[in-house]
Chain A
Amino acid sequence: MEYICHQTLIQLLTVIHMKLAKIIIFILLLSLSMLCFPGEYAVVVNKANPVEEISAKDLQKIFLGEKSTWPDGNQIKLAVVNSGDLYGEFARNIVKMTAVQFSMYWKQKIFTGSGVGTDIKFFKDGGKLKEYVAATPDAIGYIQPNLLDGSIKQVKVI
Protein backbone atom coordinates (compact mmCIF):
# COMPACT_ATOMS: atom_id res chain seq x y z
CA MET A 1 0.00 0.00 0.00
CA GLU A 2 2.82 2.35 1.00
CA TYR A 3 4.66 1.47 -2.22
CA ILE A 4 1.55 2.30 -4.34
CA CYS A 5 1.11 5.65 -2.59
CA HIS A 6 4.79 6.41 -3.12
CA GLN A 7 4.52 5.55 -6.83
CA THR A 8 1.35 7.64 -7.22
CA LEU A 9 3.09 10.59 -5.56
CA ILE A 10 6.08 10.24 -7.88
CA GLN A 11 3.76 10.08 -10.90
CA LEU A 12 1.89 13.15 -9.69
CA LEU A 13 5.12 15.09 -9.14
CA THR A 14 6.35 14.01 -12.59
CA VAL A 15 3.16 15.29 -14.22
CA ILE A 16 3.43 18.59 -12.30
CA HIS A 17 7.08 18.94 -13.31
CA MET A 18 6.25 18.24 -16.96
CA LYS A 19 3.46 20.82 -16.92
CA LEU A 20 5.72 23.38 -15.19
CA ALA A 21 8.49 22.73 -17.70
CA LYS A 22 6.04 23.24 -20.58
CA ILE A 23 4.80 26.52 -19.06
CA ILE A 24 8.36 27.76 -18.52
CA ILE A 25 9.36 26.81 -22.10
CA PHE A 26 6.22 28.55 -23.42
CA ILE A 27 7.01 31.75 -21.45
CA LEU A 28 10.65 31.68 -22.62
CA LEU A 29 9.61 31.21 -26.26
CA LEU A 30 7.01 33.96 -25.91
CA SER A 31 9.60 36.31 -24.40
CA LEU A 32 12.13 35.45 -27.13
CA SER A 33 9.54 36.04 -29.83
CA MET A 34 8.77 39.41 -28.25
CA LEU A 35 12.40 40.42 -27.86
CA CYS A 36 14.22 39.06 -30.91
CA PHE A 37 12.19 38.71 -34.06
CA PRO A 38 11.79 41.75 -36.28
CA GLY A 39 8.25 42.88 -36.94
CA GLU A 40 6.40 43.30 -40.23
CA TYR A 41 6.38 47.03 -40.85
CA ALA A 42 7.79 49.51 -43.32
CA VAL A 43 9.06 52.95 -42.31
CA VAL A 44 7.79 55.55 -44.76
CA VAL A 45 8.31 59.25 -45.50
CA ASN A 46 6.95 61.75 -48.00
CA LYS A 47 8.21 61.26 -51.57
CA ALA A 48 9.86 64.70 -51.51
CA ASN A 49 12.00 63.77 -48.51
CA PRO A 50 15.63 63.16 -49.67
CA VAL A 51 16.36 60.78 -46.76
CA GLU A 52 16.97 57.21 -48.03
CA GLU A 53 18.00 55.39 -44.86
CA ILE A 54 17.87 55.88 -41.09
CA SER A 55 19.72 54.01 -38.35
CA ALA A 56 17.54 52.08 -35.90
CA LYS A 57 18.99 54.25 -33.12
CA ASP A 58 17.99 57.50 -34.86
CA LEU A 59 14.56 56.07 -35.60
CA GLN A 60 14.11 55.32 -31.90
CA LYS A 61 15.12 58.90 -31.03
CA ILE A 62 12.75 60.31 -33.67
CA PHE A 63 9.75 58.37 -32.36
CA LEU A 64 10.58 59.32 -28.78
CA GLY A 65 10.76 63.00 -29.74
CA GLU A 66 14.45 63.20 -28.80
CA LYS A 67 15.43 64.03 -32.37
CA SER A 68 12.95 66.49 -33.81
CA THR A 69 14.44 67.93 -37.01
CA TRP A 70 15.41 66.60 -40.43
CA PRO A 71 18.94 67.36 -41.76
CA ASP A 72 17.50 70.41 -43.59
CA GLY A 73 16.27 71.86 -40.27
CA ASN A 74 12.58 71.23 -40.86
CA GLN A 75 10.58 69.85 -37.95
CA ILE A 76 9.84 66.11 -38.13
CA LYS A 77 6.12 65.31 -38.10
CA LEU A 78 5.44 61.96 -36.46
CA ALA A 79 2.66 59.66 -37.61
CA VAL A 80 1.86 56.73 -35.33
CA VAL A 81 -0.53 53.82 -35.86
CA ASN A 82 -1.87 53.20 -32.37
CA SER A 83 -3.72 49.91 -32.63
CA GLY A 84 -3.25 46.32 -33.71
CA ASP A 85 -0.17 44.11 -34.10
CA LEU A 86 1.63 46.74 -36.19
CA TYR A 87 1.68 49.13 -33.22
CA GLY A 88 3.01 46.52 -30.79
CA GLU A 89 5.69 45.25 -33.17
CA PHE A 90 6.97 48.71 -34.01
CA ALA A 91 6.99 49.72 -30.34
CA ARG A 92 8.95 46.61 -29.33
CA ASN A 93 11.42 46.52 -32.19
CA ILE A 94 12.19 50.19 -32.74
CA VAL A 95 11.18 52.15 -29.64
CA LYS A 96 12.09 49.25 -27.31
CA MET A 97 8.89 49.62 -25.30
CA THR A 98 5.65 47.72 -25.02
CA ALA A 99 2.67 49.24 -26.84
CA VAL A 100 1.20 50.36 -23.49
CA GLN A 101 4.47 52.04 -22.47
CA PHE A 102 4.78 53.76 -25.85
CA SER A 103 1.20 55.08 -25.55
CA MET A 104 1.82 56.32 -22.02
CA TYR A 105 5.10 57.95 -23.07
CA TRP A 106 3.37 60.20 -25.63
CA LYS A 107 0.25 60.85 -23.57
CA GLN A 108 2.51 62.01 -20.73
CA LYS A 109 4.09 64.54 -23.05
CA ILE A 110 0.72 65.69 -24.42
CA PHE A 111 -1.04 66.08 -21.06
CA THR A 112 1.83 67.81 -19.24
CA GLY A 113 2.76 70.17 -22.02
CA SER A 114 6.26 68.67 -22.23
CA GLY A 115 5.35 67.50 -25.74
CA VAL A 116 4.89 71.11 -26.80
CA GLY A 117 7.25 71.49 -29.73
CA THR A 118 6.58 68.00 -31.10
CA ASP A 119 4.15 67.31 -33.92
CA ILE A 120 2.61 63.86 -33.52
CA LYS A 121 -0.58 62.45 -35.00
CA PHE A 122 -2.21 59.10 -34.20
CA PHE A 123 -4.02 56.89 -36.68
CA LYS A 124 -6.11 53.79 -36.23
CA ASP A 125 -4.80 52.09 -39.38
CA GLY A 126 -1.91 52.22 -41.84
CA GLY A 127 -4.11 53.33 -44.74
CA LYS A 128 -5.01 56.68 -43.14
CA LEU A 129 -1.42 57.15 -42.01
CA LYS A 130 -0.19 56.58 -45.58
CA GLU A 131 -2.54 59.29 -46.88
CA TYR A 132 -1.23 61.71 -44.25
CA VAL A 133 2.45 60.98 -45.01
CA ALA A 134 1.79 61.29 -48.75
CA ALA A 135 0.32 64.76 -48.18
CA THR A 136 2.79 66.02 -45.53
CA PRO A 137 6.36 66.83 -46.65
CA ASP A 138 8.10 66.37 -43.24
CA ALA A 139 6.10 63.38 -41.99
CA ILE A 140 7.46 59.96 -41.04
CA GLY A 141 5.45 56.91 -40.05
CA TYR A 142 5.16 53.14 -40.40
CA ILE A 143 2.72 50.92 -42.24
CA GLN A 144 2.19 47.27 -43.12
CA PRO A 145 4.49 46.36 -46.07
CA ASN A 146 1.49 45.33 -48.22
CA LEU A 147 0.29 48.96 -48.16
CA LEU A 148 3.45 50.27 -49.88
CA ASP A 149 2.80 52.04 -53.17
CA GLY A 150 4.07 54.97 -55.21
CA SER A 151 2.37 57.64 -53.10
CA ILE A 152 5.01 57.43 -50.33
CA LYS A 153 8.67 56.41 -50.01
CA GLN A 154 10.03 53.53 -47.92
CA VAL A 155 13.11 54.34 -45.85
CA LYS A 156 15.68 51.63 -45.21
CA VAL A 157 16.34 51.02 -41.50
CA ILE A 158 20.04 50.21 -40.95
Chain B
Amino acid sequence: MVSIFPESISERIQLNGFLSQGFVYSTHNDFIPQSSKNGSFEMNEAALAITADVSKKLRLGFQLLARDLGRIGNHKLELDWGFAEYRFANAFSLRIGKIKTPFGFFNEFRDTDALFPMVILPQSIYDESMRAVFIAYNGSAFCGNLNLGDAGSLNYHLFLGGVNHPPDAPYMIQIYTAVNVGLTPYGMSISPIVMDTQEFVGGRVIWKTPLPGLRLGGSFVHMKTKFNSMLSIPGLDPMKVYGHMKIDKGFFLSGEFNLGNFTLTSEYMELPVVLSLDLTGQEETLSDETMQGLYVMGSYLFGDKVTLYSYYDRFYADKGDHEGFSSVRLGNPAYFAWQKDFTVGLRIDINFNWTLKVEWHTVDGLSKSYVFNDDLFNTKQKWNIFATKLSYNF
Protein backbone atom coordinates (compact mmCIF):
# COMPACT_ATOMS: atom_id res chain seq x y z
CA MET B 1 0.00 0.00 0.00
CA VAL B 2 1.41 3.34 -1.05
CA SER B 3 0.68 6.47 0.92
CA ILE B 4 1.73 10.05 0.32
CA PHE B 5 -0.18 11.33 3.34
CA PRO B 6 0.90 11.77 7.00
CA GLU B 7 0.35 8.62 9.09
CA SER B 8 -2.74 9.89 10.95
CA ILE B 9 -4.47 10.72 7.65
CA SER B 10 -3.12 7.78 5.68
CA GLU B 11 -4.93 5.37 8.00
CA ARG B 12 -8.16 6.76 6.60
CA ILE B 13 -7.09 7.25 2.98
CA GLN B 14 -6.24 4.64 0.36
CA LEU B 15 -4.37 5.47 -2.81
CA ASN B 16 -4.28 3.07 -5.75
CA GLY B 17 -3.48 3.37 -9.41
CA PHE B 18 -2.72 1.61 -12.66
CA LEU B 19 -0.86 2.20 -15.90
CA SER B 20 -1.01 0.10 -19.07
CA GLN B 21 0.46 0.22 -22.57
CA GLY B 22 -0.72 -1.91 -25.46
CA PHE B 23 0.22 -2.55 -29.07
CA VAL B 24 -2.23 -3.60 -31.80
CA TYR B 25 -1.49 -4.88 -35.28
CA SER B 26 -4.29 -5.95 -37.59
CA THR B 27 -4.46 -7.35 -41.11
CA HIS B 28 -6.69 -5.86 -43.89
CA ASN B 29 -8.90 -3.74 -41.57
CA ASP B 30 -8.15 -1.30 -38.75
CA PHE B 31 -9.12 -2.20 -35.19
CA ILE B 32 -7.91 1.28 -34.29
CA PRO B 33 -6.73 3.80 -36.91
CA GLN B 34 -3.44 2.76 -38.57
CA SER B 35 -3.36 -0.64 -36.82
CA SER B 36 -3.31 -2.37 -40.22
CA LYS B 37 -0.35 -0.33 -41.47
CA ASN B 38 2.53 -0.63 -39.02
CA GLY B 39 0.53 -1.38 -35.91
CA SER B 40 -0.44 1.16 -33.28
CA PHE B 41 0.61 1.95 -29.71
CA GLU B 42 -2.49 4.12 -29.24
CA MET B 43 -3.98 1.78 -26.65
CA ASN B 44 -3.12 2.81 -23.12
CA GLU B 45 -4.65 3.90 -19.82
CA ALA B 46 -3.54 5.50 -16.56
CA ALA B 47 -5.63 6.07 -13.44
CA LEU B 48 -5.40 7.13 -9.84
CA ALA B 49 -8.04 6.16 -7.26
CA ILE B 50 -8.41 7.74 -3.83
CA THR B 51 -10.90 6.51 -1.24
CA ALA B 52 -11.36 7.80 2.29
CA ASP B 53 -13.24 6.84 5.45
CA VAL B 54 -15.22 9.80 6.71
CA SER B 55 -16.98 7.77 9.38
CA LYS B 56 -17.84 4.12 10.05
CA LYS B 57 -20.72 4.33 7.59
CA LEU B 58 -19.72 7.08 5.19
CA ARG B 59 -16.96 6.74 2.59
CA LEU B 60 -15.89 8.96 -0.27
CA GLY B 61 -13.89 8.01 -3.32
CA PHE B 62 -12.97 9.04 -6.83
CA GLN B 63 -10.79 7.91 -9.72
CA LEU B 64 -9.13 10.04 -12.37
CA LEU B 65 -8.54 8.35 -15.71
CA ALA B 66 -6.66 9.26 -18.89
CA ARG B 67 -6.87 6.86 -21.82
CA ASP B 68 -6.21 6.57 -25.50
CA LEU B 69 -7.72 4.18 -28.01
CA GLY B 70 -7.09 5.48 -31.51
CA ARG B 71 -9.24 8.60 -31.88
CA ILE B 72 -10.99 8.06 -28.54
CA GLY B 73 -9.75 9.58 -25.30
CA ASN B 74 -6.46 11.11 -26.45
CA HIS B 75 -5.22 11.19 -22.84
CA LYS B 76 -7.79 13.74 -21.76
CA LEU B 77 -7.98 13.54 -17.96
CA GLU B 78 -11.52 12.76 -16.79
CA LEU B 79 -13.36 11.79 -13.65
CA ASP B 80 -13.89 8.06 -14.15
CA TRP B 81 -16.00 7.66 -11.03
CA GLY B 82 -16.49 9.69 -7.88
CA PHE B 83 -19.18 9.17 -5.29
CA ALA B 84 -20.20 9.14 -1.65
CA GLU B 85 -21.49 5.90 -0.18
CA TYR B 86 -23.53 5.62 2.98
CA ARG B 87 -23.71 2.05 4.21
CA PHE B 88 -26.83 1.38 6.29
CA ALA B 89 -25.91 -2.32 6.53
CA ASN B 90 -24.09 -4.96 4.46
CA ALA B 91 -27.34 -5.50 2.61
CA PHE B 92 -28.07 -1.89 1.82
CA SER B 93 -25.99 1.12 0.74
CA LEU B 94 -26.86 4.38 -0.97
CA ARG B 95 -24.45 5.93 -3.48
CA ILE B 96 -24.62 9.38 -5.02
CA GLY B 97 -22.27 10.78 -7.66
CA LYS B 98 -20.66 9.51 -10.85
CA ILE B 99 -20.88 5.72 -10.62
CA LYS B 100 -19.63 2.92 -12.87
CA THR B 101 -22.53 1.32 -14.74
CA PRO B 102 -23.05 -2.29 -13.68
CA PHE B 103 -23.55 -4.34 -16.87
CA GLY B 104 -22.29 -7.89 -17.25
CA PHE B 105 -19.26 -9.17 -15.39
CA PHE B 106 -16.62 -6.78 -16.82
CA ASN B 107 -18.16 -3.42 -17.73
CA GLU B 108 -17.34 -1.58 -14.51
CA PHE B 109 -13.60 -2.24 -14.85
CA ARG B 110 -13.23 -2.51 -18.62
CA ASP B 111 -10.45 0.13 -18.61
CA THR B 112 -8.35 -1.67 -15.98
CA ASP B 113 -6.31 -4.17 -17.93
CA ALA B 114 -5.22 -6.31 -14.96
CA LEU B 115 -8.79 -7.20 -14.04
CA PHE B 116 -9.74 -9.53 -16.88
CA PRO B 117 -7.88 -12.25 -18.77
CA MET B 118 -7.95 -10.77 -22.31
CA VAL B 119 -6.41 -7.69 -23.97
CA ILE B 120 -9.51 -6.85 -26.02
CA LEU B 121 -12.80 -7.65 -24.28
CA PRO B 122 -15.42 -9.53 -26.35
CA GLN B 123 -16.77 -6.72 -28.54
CA SER B 124 -20.23 -8.25 -28.87
CA ILE B 125 -20.92 -7.23 -25.26
CA TYR B 126 -18.16 -4.73 -24.38
CA ASP B 127 -18.29 -2.68 -27.56
CA GLU B 128 -15.65 0.06 -27.69
CA SER B 129 -17.85 2.18 -29.96
CA MET B 130 -20.65 2.26 -27.31
CA ARG B 131 -18.34 2.59 -24.29
CA ALA B 132 -19.31 6.18 -23.42
CA VAL B 133 -23.01 5.23 -23.11
CA PHE B 134 -22.40 2.43 -20.66
CA ILE B 135 -19.22 3.34 -18.77
CA ALA B 136 -20.68 5.49 -15.98
CA TYR B 137 -23.77 7.45 -15.00
CA ASN B 138 -24.35 10.57 -12.94
CA GLY B 139 -27.01 9.76 -10.39
CA SER B 140 -27.81 7.54 -7.44
CA ALA B 141 -27.83 3.85 -6.69
CA PHE B 142 -29.04 1.34 -4.16
CA CYS B 143 -26.69 -1.57 -3.80
CA GLY B 144 -25.69 -4.29 -1.39
CA ASN B 145 -25.12 -7.93 -0.71
CA LEU B 146 -27.99 -10.13 0.49
CA ASN B 147 -27.14 -13.31 2.39
CA LEU B 148 -29.55 -16.01 1.20
CA GLY B 149 -28.37 -18.68 3.65
CA ASP B 150 -28.18 -22.09 2.01
CA ALA B 151 -29.20 -20.51 -1.31
CA GLY B 152 -25.96 -18.50 -1.56
CA SER B 153 -25.83 -14.72 -1.77
CA LEU B 154 -27.15 -12.00 -4.04
CA ASN B 155 -25.28 -8.85 -5.00
CA TYR B 156 -27.51 -6.11 -6.42
CA HIS B 157 -27.08 -2.61 -7.89
CA LEU B 158 -30.07 -0.55 -9.03
CA PHE B 159 -29.57 2.91 -10.48
CA LEU B 160 -31.17 6.04 -11.89
CA GLY B 161 -29.24 8.80 -13.60
CA GLY B 162 -27.92 10.51 -16.70
CA VAL B 163 -24.99 10.05 -19.09
CA ASN B 164 -22.39 12.40 -20.57
CA HIS B 165 -22.07 12.05 -24.35
CA PRO B 166 -18.61 13.15 -25.52
CA PRO B 167 -18.63 14.51 -29.10
CA ASP B 168 -15.87 12.07 -30.15
CA ALA B 169 -17.89 9.00 -29.08
CA PRO B 170 -18.16 6.65 -32.08
CA TYR B 171 -21.90 6.08 -31.55
CA MET B 172 -22.49 9.83 -31.98
CA ILE B 173 -20.81 9.57 -35.38
CA GLN B 174 -22.79 6.38 -36.12
CA ILE B 175 -26.12 8.09 -35.32
CA TYR B 176 -25.15 11.13 -37.37
CA THR B 177 -24.23 8.85 -40.27
CA ALA B 178 -27.38 6.70 -39.93
CA VAL B 179 -29.66 9.76 -39.92
CA ASN B 180 -27.90 11.22 -42.94
CA VAL B 181 -28.21 7.92 -44.82
CA GLY B 182 -31.98 8.06 -44.15
CA LEU B 183 -32.21 11.66 -45.37
CA THR B 184 -29.99 11.44 -48.45
CA PRO B 185 -32.77 10.15 -50.78
CA TYR B 186 -34.71 13.35 -50.00
CA GLY B 187 -31.70 15.60 -50.69
CA MET B 188 -31.42 16.58 -47.02
CA SER B 189 -28.63 16.28 -44.44
CA ILE B 190 -27.95 17.10 -40.78
CA SER B 191 -24.94 18.58 -38.95
CA PRO B 192 -23.11 16.67 -36.15
CA ILE B 193 -25.53 15.97 -33.30
CA VAL B 194 -25.68 17.03 -29.64
CA MET B 195 -27.15 14.47 -27.20
CA ASP B 196 -28.85 14.75 -23.83
CA THR B 197 -29.99 11.71 -21.84
CA GLN B 198 -33.45 12.15 -20.37
CA GLU B 199 -33.91 8.75 -18.73
CA PHE B 200 -31.35 6.13 -17.78
CA VAL B 201 -32.40 3.39 -15.38
CA GLY B 202 -31.08 -0.09 -14.92
CA GLY B 203 -29.49 -2.56 -12.62
CA ARG B 204 -27.70 -5.81 -12.17
CA VAL B 205 -27.99 -8.79 -9.86
CA ILE B 206 -25.31 -11.43 -9.44
CA TRP B 207 -26.30 -14.63 -7.67
CA LYS B 208 -23.50 -16.59 -6.09
CA THR B 209 -25.18 -19.98 -6.14
CA PRO B 210 -24.81 -22.72 -3.50
CA LEU B 211 -22.89 -24.75 -6.10
CA PRO B 212 -19.24 -23.81 -5.45
CA GLY B 213 -17.73 -21.81 -8.31
CA LEU B 214 -21.02 -21.03 -10.06
CA ARG B 215 -22.31 -17.48 -10.32
CA LEU B 216 -25.11 -16.17 -12.50
CA GLY B 217 -25.96 -12.59 -13.35
CA GLY B 218 -28.60 -10.51 -15.07
CA SER B 219 -28.51 -6.82 -16.05
CA PHE B 220 -31.19 -4.64 -17.58
CA VAL B 221 -31.27 -1.14 -19.05
CA HIS B 222 -33.72 1.47 -20.27
CA MET B 223 -32.48 4.69 -21.85
CA LYS B 224 -34.14 7.60 -23.59
CA THR B 225 -31.83 10.15 -25.19
CA LYS B 226 -32.79 13.30 -27.03
CA PHE B 227 -30.52 14.71 -29.70
CA ASN B 228 -30.63 17.84 -31.81
CA SER B 229 -28.96 18.97 -35.01
CA MET B 230 -29.28 21.47 -37.85
CA LEU B 231 -31.16 20.16 -40.88
CA SER B 232 -30.15 21.42 -44.32
CA ILE B 233 -32.80 21.40 -47.05
CA PRO B 234 -31.85 22.66 -50.53
CA GLY B 235 -33.27 26.14 -51.11
CA LEU B 236 -34.25 26.72 -47.46
CA ASP B 237 -32.49 28.10 -44.35
CA PRO B 238 -31.04 25.44 -42.02
CA MET B 239 -33.51 24.50 -39.26
CA LYS B 240 -33.11 22.83 -35.89
CA VAL B 241 -34.42 19.27 -35.68
CA TYR B 242 -34.81 16.88 -32.79
CA GLY B 243 -34.58 13.14 -32.52
CA HIS B 244 -34.45 10.31 -30.02
CA MET B 245 -32.35 7.27 -29.37
CA LYS B 246 -34.20 4.78 -27.19
CA ILE B 247 -32.90 1.60 -25.64
CA ASP B 248 -35.90 -0.25 -24.29
CA LYS B 249 -35.81 -3.54 -22.38
CA GLY B 250 -32.12 -4.16 -23.06
CA PHE B 251 -30.69 -7.04 -21.07
CA PHE B 252 -27.46 -8.93 -20.40
CA LEU B 253 -27.25 -12.49 -19.02
CA SER B 254 -24.00 -13.67 -17.47
CA GLY B 255 -22.72 -17.00 -16.19
CA GLU B 256 -19.41 -18.23 -14.83
CA PHE B 257 -18.33 -21.63 -13.58
CA ASN B 258 -15.00 -22.10 -11.88
CA LEU B 259 -13.57 -25.53 -11.10
CA GLY B 260 -10.06 -25.48 -9.68
CA ASN B 261 -7.88 -23.77 -12.27
CA PHE B 262 -10.47 -23.91 -15.04
CA THR B 263 -13.04 -21.16 -15.60
CA LEU B 264 -15.86 -21.09 -18.14
CA THR B 265 -17.54 -17.71 -18.73
CA SER B 266 -20.38 -16.78 -21.06
CA GLU B 267 -22.53 -13.71 -21.59
CA TYR B 268 -25.48 -12.92 -23.83
CA MET B 269 -26.97 -9.52 -24.70
CA GLU B 270 -29.97 -8.09 -26.51
CA LEU B 271 -30.12 -4.32 -26.93
CA PRO B 272 -33.14 -2.94 -28.83
CA VAL B 273 -32.16 0.50 -30.21
CA VAL B 274 -34.72 2.77 -31.89
CA LEU B 275 -33.60 5.92 -33.72
CA SER B 276 -36.24 8.48 -34.60
CA LEU B 277 -36.33 12.01 -36.00
CA ASP B 278 -38.96 14.71 -35.49
CA LEU B 279 -39.26 16.48 -38.84
CA THR B 280 -42.87 17.57 -39.04
CA GLY B 281 -43.97 17.49 -35.41
CA GLN B 282 -44.28 13.73 -35.60
CA GLU B 283 -41.65 11.14 -34.74
CA GLU B 284 -40.40 9.30 -37.82
CA THR B 285 -38.61 6.03 -37.05
CA LEU B 286 -35.30 5.85 -38.90
CA SER B 287 -34.14 2.50 -37.60
CA ASP B 288 -35.41 -0.12 -35.17
CA GLU B 289 -32.87 -2.87 -34.59
CA THR B 290 -31.99 -5.22 -31.77
CA MET B 291 -28.25 -5.73 -31.30
CA GLN B 292 -27.44 -9.29 -30.28
CA GLY B 293 -24.19 -10.46 -28.72
CA LEU B 294 -22.83 -13.68 -27.26
CA TYR B 295 -19.44 -14.95 -26.18
CA VAL B 296 -18.13 -18.10 -24.54
CA MET B 297 -14.68 -18.11 -22.96
CA GLY B 298 -12.61 -20.82 -21.35
CA SER B 299 -9.46 -20.17 -19.36
CA TYR B 300 -6.98 -22.38 -17.52
CA LEU B 301 -4.39 -21.25 -14.99
CA PHE B 302 -1.08 -23.12 -15.19
CA GLY B 303 0.75 -22.89 -11.86
CA ASP B 304 -0.02 -19.50 -10.36
CA LYS B 305 1.21 -17.15 -13.10
CA VAL B 306 0.21 -18.26 -16.60
CA THR B 307 -3.37 -18.28 -17.87
CA LEU B 308 -4.24 -19.69 -21.29
CA TYR B 309 -7.60 -18.45 -22.56
CA SER B 310 -9.74 -18.63 -25.63
CA TYR B 311 -13.08 -17.13 -26.53
CA TYR B 312 -15.59 -17.19 -29.34
CA ASP B 313 -17.47 -13.92 -29.70
CA ARG B 314 -20.43 -13.31 -32.03
CA PHE B 315 -22.30 -10.08 -32.70
CA TYR B 316 -25.21 -9.21 -34.99
CA ALA B 317 -26.19 -5.57 -35.55
CA ASP B 318 -29.80 -6.72 -35.92
CA LYS B 319 -31.14 -9.88 -34.31
CA GLY B 320 -33.72 -10.15 -37.13
CA ASP B 321 -31.17 -9.82 -39.96
CA HIS B 322 -28.25 -12.22 -39.44
CA GLU B 323 -27.56 -12.32 -43.21
CA GLY B 324 -27.01 -8.56 -43.52
CA PHE B 325 -29.79 -7.81 -46.06
CA SER B 326 -30.35 -4.29 -44.66
CA SER B 327 -26.62 -3.56 -44.90
CA VAL B 328 -26.65 -4.58 -48.58
CA ARG B 329 -29.74 -2.43 -49.19
CA LEU B 330 -27.77 0.57 -47.91
CA GLY B 331 -24.98 -0.18 -50.38
CA ASN B 332 -22.64 -1.71 -47.79
CA PRO B 333 -21.21 -5.24 -47.72
CA ALA B 334 -23.33 -7.81 -45.87
CA TYR B 335 -20.45 -8.43 -43.43
CA PHE B 336 -21.02 -5.00 -41.86
CA ALA B 337 -23.99 -6.71 -40.16
CA TRP B 338 -21.96 -9.14 -38.05
CA GLN B 339 -18.64 -9.71 -36.34
CA LYS B 340 -17.44 -13.16 -35.28
CA ASP B 341 -14.17 -13.36 -33.41
CA PHE B 342 -12.21 -16.44 -32.33
CA THR B 343 -9.41 -15.48 -29.97
CA VAL B 344 -6.56 -17.34 -28.28
CA GLY B 345 -4.32 -15.65 -25.73
CA LEU B 346 -1.92 -15.89 -22.87
CA ARG B 347 -1.87 -13.84 -19.66
CA ILE B 348 1.17 -13.82 -17.41
CA ASP B 349 0.86 -12.46 -13.89
CA ILE B 350 4.51 -11.56 -13.36
CA ASN B 351 3.70 -10.63 -9.76
CA PHE B 352 0.86 -8.93 -7.87
CA ASN B 353 1.59 -5.62 -9.62
CA TRP B 354 2.69 -6.51 -13.18
CA THR B 355 0.68 -8.28 -15.91
CA LEU B 356 1.59 -9.13 -19.50
CA LYS B 357 -0.91 -10.37 -22.09
CA VAL B 358 -0.69 -11.39 -25.72
CA GLU B 359 -3.50 -12.59 -28.01
CA TRP B 360 -4.46 -13.41 -31.60
CA HIS B 361 -7.90 -12.83 -33.13
CA THR B 362 -9.37 -14.45 -36.22
CA VAL B 363 -12.27 -12.24 -37.24
CA ASP B 364 -15.13 -12.59 -39.73
CA GLY B 365 -17.15 -9.40 -40.33
CA LEU B 366 -16.73 -5.77 -39.41
CA SER B 367 -19.90 -4.74 -37.62
CA LYS B 368 -18.22 -3.55 -34.43
CA SER B 369 -15.13 -2.01 -35.96
CA TYR B 370 -16.19 -0.26 -39.15
CA VAL B 371 -16.34 3.13 -37.41
CA PHE B 372 -12.56 2.91 -37.00
CA ASN B 373 -11.95 2.32 -40.73
CA ASP B 374 -11.76 5.48 -42.83
CA ASP B 375 -11.90 3.74 -46.20
CA LEU B 376 -14.95 1.48 -45.95
CA PHE B 377 -14.70 0.45 -49.62
CA ASN B 378 -11.35 -1.21 -49.01
CA THR B 379 -12.28 -3.37 -46.04
CA LYS B 380 -12.19 -7.16 -46.02
CA GLN B 381 -14.58 -9.68 -44.46
CA LYS B 382 -11.88 -11.92 -42.96
CA TRP B 383 -9.14 -10.28 -40.92
CA ASN B 384 -6.90 -10.76 -37.90
CA ILE B 385 -5.82 -8.78 -34.86
CA PHE B 386 -2.66 -9.21 -32.81
CA ALA B 387 -2.75 -7.41 -29.46
CA THR B 388 -0.41 -7.27 -26.50
CA LYS B 389 -0.45 -5.22 -23.31
CA LEU B 390 1.75 -4.65 -20.29
CA SER B 391 0.18 -3.19 -17.17
CA TYR B 392 1.20 -2.14 -13.71
CA ASN B 393 -1.05 -1.47 -10.74
CA PHE B 394 -0.56 -0.58 -7.11
Task: Say whether A and B bind each other.
Answer: yes
Partner of B59 from the list A35, A88, A100, A116 (CB cut-off 8 Å) is: A116
| Contact bitstring A64-99, B, C-beta under 8 A = 1, else 0 | 001111000011000000110000100000001111
Number of interface residues of A (CB under 8 A): 33
Contacts of A111 in B (CB 8 A): 16, 18, 47, 49, 63, 109, 112, 115, 393
Partner of B260 from the list A34, A68, A116 (CB cut-off 8 Å) is: A34
Q: Using a CB-CB cutoff of 8 Å, which residues 32-88 of chain B contact chain A?
A: 47, 49, 51, 53, 56, 59-63, 81-83, 85, 87
| Contact bitstring A115-136, B, C-beta under 8 A = 1, else 0 | 1110101100000000000000
CB distance from A114 to the nearest CB of B (A): 7
Partner of A121 from the list B1, B145, B263 (CB cut-off 8 Å) is: B1
Contacts of B248 in A (CB 8 A): none
- Interface stretch, picked from A14-22, A39-47, A101-109, is A101-109
Pair A116/B85 contact, Cβ less than 8 Å: yes
Mostly helix, strand, loop or mixed at chain A's interface? mixed
Pair B109/A35 contact, Cβ less than 8 Å: no
Contacts of B212 in A (CB 8 A): 96
With CB as the reference atom, state the residue of chain A lying closest to B349. A100
| Contact bitstring B243-274, A, C-beta under 8 A = 1, else 0 | 00000000000000010110100000000000
Pair A117/B93 contact, Cβ less than 8 Å: yes
How many angstroms from the CA of A76 to the CA of B349 in the assembled complex?
A: 29
Q: Beyond A66-B90, A117-B85, is A110–B114 a contact (Cβ under 8 Å)?
A: no
CB distance from A25 to the nearest CB of B (A): 16
Partner of A112 from the list B53, B100, B147 (CB cut-off 8 Å) is: B100
Q: Beyond A110-B16, A113-B51, is A98–B1 a contact (Cβ under 8 Å)?
A: no
CB distance from A99 to the nearest CB of B (A): 5
Cβ of A31 under 8 Å from chain B: yes
Mostly helix, strand, loop or mixed at chain B's interface? strand
Cβ of B184 under 8 Å from chain A: no
With CB as the reference atom, state the residue of chain A lying closest to B307. A100
CB distance from A46 to the nearest CB of B (A): 14
Q: Beyond A111-B109, A117-B59, is A66–B304 a contact (Cβ under 8 Å)?
A: no
CB distance from B4 to the nearest CB of A (A): 16
Q: Beyond A83-B352, A100-B349, A117-B85, is A108–B301 a contact (Cβ under 8 Å)?
A: no
How many angstroms from the CA of A113 to the CA of B93 in the assembled complex?
A: 13
Partner of B87 from the list A31, A96, A104, A117 (CB cut-off 8 Å) is: A117
Pair B1/A122 contact, Cβ less than 8 Å: yes
Cβ of B99 under 8 Å from chain A: yes
- Could you pull out 27 A-B pairs where Cβ atoms are within 8 angstroms? A68-B90, A75-B56, A88-B304, A97-B258, A98-B261, A101-B258, A104-B115, A108-B109, A111-B16, A111-B47, A111-B49, A111-B112, A111-B115, A112-B81, A112-B100, A112-B108, A113-B51, A113-B63, A113-B81, A113-B83, A114-B143, A115-B51, A116-B59, A116-B60, A119-B53, A121-B1, A122-B352
- Interface of A toward B, CB cutoff 8 Å: 31, 34-35, 66-69, 74-75, 82-83, 88, 96-101, 103-104, 107-108, 110-117, 119, 121-122
- Interface of B toward A, CB cutoff 8 Å: 1, 14, 16, 18, 47, 49, 51, 53, 56, 59-63, 81-83, 85, 87, 90, 93, 99-100, 108-109, 112, 114-116, 143, 145, 147, 153, 212-213, 258, 260-261, 263, 301, 304-305, 307, 349, 351-352, 393
Apart from A101-B258, A121-B1, list 6 A-B contacts with CB within 8 A: A83-B352, A100-B305, A100-B307, A100-B349, A108-B108, A111-B16
